[in-house]
Amino acid sequence: MFRETPESVAAQIAKGGGAILLRGETAIGSGRWVAVPGPGGQGAWMEVKRIGVLPEYQKQGLGAMILAALEADGRAAGKQGAQLAIRADQPRLIDFYAGLGYVRAEDVELTTVNLLSPPPFGMRKIFEDETR
């Protein structure tokens, strides 16, 4: 199991970025990303970390909204694509991310690995060149 601390989360955000979704003054969801090399160590990419929405606000498209904000932040930082991992006990998320343009990728190298759980499913998305 991962043991995150405010310091470890702040360190990840410092290496990339994050988004907090508010309803009024209340945080109801968040996500973050870190800068990583692209496939095969080539290019500048981002790894999406820990998107979450409070249970009472789930199934309203808010996770996709947070992901879109993270991707926009990554694009603005010059990232060419994004990678992420889905825990082995959450395979339903494969279809969720596939619907947002991600494809399965067995060669995704993660910045943090939990050796106490089964290997996650890797996925990636190449950002389209918006100048075309």
Residue 34 lies in a domain: yes
Q: Which domain holds residue 111?
A: 6-126
Residue 132 placed within a domain: no
Residue 94 in any domain: the answer is yes
The CATH number of the domain holding residue 14 is 3.40.630.30
Instruction: Quote the number of domains for the chain.
Output: 1
Please report whether residue 74 resides in a domain.
yes
| Residue 4 to residues 1, 8, 112, 117, Cα–Cα distance (Å) | 10, 6, 11, 16
Give the pLDDT score at 14. 86
| Residue 131 domain flag | no
In a domain, 25, yes or no: yes
For residue 71, what is the enclosing H or E element?
helix 62-76
In Å, how far are 38, 59, 77, 78, 95 from 17, measured between CA atoms? Answer: 17, 24, 9, 13, 25
Closest to 31 (Cα-Cα) out of 61, 55, 75, 62: 62
Each residue's pLDDT, cut to its tens digit, for the chain (132 residues) gives 457 788 888 888 888 999 999 999 999 999 999 999 999 889 999 999 989 999 999 999 999 999 999 999 999 999 999 999 998 889 999 999 999 999 999 888 877 777 778 888 999 999 986 543
Q: Which residues contact 1 (CB under 8 A, 6 or more apart)?
A: 114, 116, 117
Tell me what pLDDT residue 26 has.
Answer: 96
Taking residue 115's Cβ as centre, other Cβ atoms within 10 Å add up to: 5
Strands (E), 1-132: 16-23, 26-37, 44-53, 81-86, 103-104, 121-126
Tokens standing for residue 93: 């998320």
